[in-house]
Amino acid sequence: MTTNVDSAPESTLPYPPIHKDKKFVVLSDWDGTITTRDSNDYMTDELGFGPEKRRQGNLDILAGKVTFRDAFREMLESVSANGHSFESCKEELKKNIKLDPGFKDFYQYCKAHDIPVVIISSGMAPIIRAVLSQLIGEEDSKDIEIVANEADVHEDGSWSIKYRHPSSGFGHDKSQAILPYRQLENPPTIFFFGDGVSDMSAARHADVLYVKQKPGGENDLAAFCNREGIPHIIFEDFSHALRSVSAIVEGKKTAQEALAEGRA
Ligand SMILES: [Mg+2]
Which listed residue (6, 29, 152, 156) is catalytic?
29
Please report, for the chain, the start and end positions of each structural domain, with discontinuous segments joined by +. Answer: 24-35+98-261
Q: Please, what sign has the CA dihedral across residues 35, 204, 144, 46?
A: negative
Rg of the Cα atoms in the chain = 18
Ligand 1 centroid–CA 220 distance in Å is: 10
Distance 96 CA to ligand 1 centre (A): 16
Q: CATH assignment of 24-35+98-261?
A: 3.40.50.1000
**pLDDT band for position 6 (50/70/90)?**
low
**pLDDT for 4 beyond 90:** no
138 by DSSP, 3-state: which?
helix
User: Residue 185 C-alpha to ligand 1 middle, in angstroms?
Assistant: 31
Distance from residue 85's CA to the centre of ligand 1 (Å):
23
Section 28-53 average pLDDT:
97
Residue 107 phi, psi (nearest 5): -65, -40
* In the predicted structure, residue 3 carries a pLDDT above the cut 80: no
Any residues with CB less than 8 A from the CB of 29 and at least 6 apart, and which? 119, 120, 121, 122, 174, 193, 194, 195, 196, 198, 199, 202
pLDDT value at 23 more than 50: yes
Average pLDDT (82-104) is 97
Q: Are 178 and 190 in contact (CB under 8 A)?
A: yes
CA dihedral 136, 210, 177, 206 (to 10 degrees): 150
The Å distance, Cα 36 to ligand 1 centre, comes to 10
- pLDDT above 80: residue 2: no
pTM of the model: 0.94
Residue 113: its pLDDT value, please? Answer: 98
Catalytic residue among 6, 21, 31, 114: 31
Position 214 scores a pLDDT of 84
Confidence band for 8, pLDDT divided at 50, 70 and 90: confident
Task: Give the residue-averaged pLDDT of 63-75.
Answer: 97
- Cα 80 to the chain's mean position, in Å? 22
Average pLDDT, the chain: 95
Residue 24 · residue 193 · CB < 8 Å: no
| Whole-number Å distance between alpha carbons of 41 and 48 | 9
Q: Is there a contact between 29 and 198 (Cβ–Cβ < 8 Å)?
A: yes
Residue 60: name the closest of 98, 69, 42, 258 by CA: 69
Å from CA of 29 to ligand 1 middle: 6
Report the percentage of the chain scoring pLDDT > 70.
97
Can 29 be counted among the known catalytic residues?
Answer: yes
Question: What's the pLDDT score for residue 216?
Answer: 75
Give backbone dihedrals phi and psi of 262, rounded to 5 degrees, phi first. 80, -5
252: left (phi over 0), alpha (psi -120 to 50) or beta: alpha
Distance from the alpha carbon of residue 33 to the mean position of ligand 1, in angstroms? 6
Q: What is the pLDDT of residue 207?
A: 97
| 220 in catalytic set | no
Q: 150-205: per-residue pLDDT in tens? A: 999 999 999 999 999 999 999 999 999 999 999 999 999 999 999 999 999 999 99
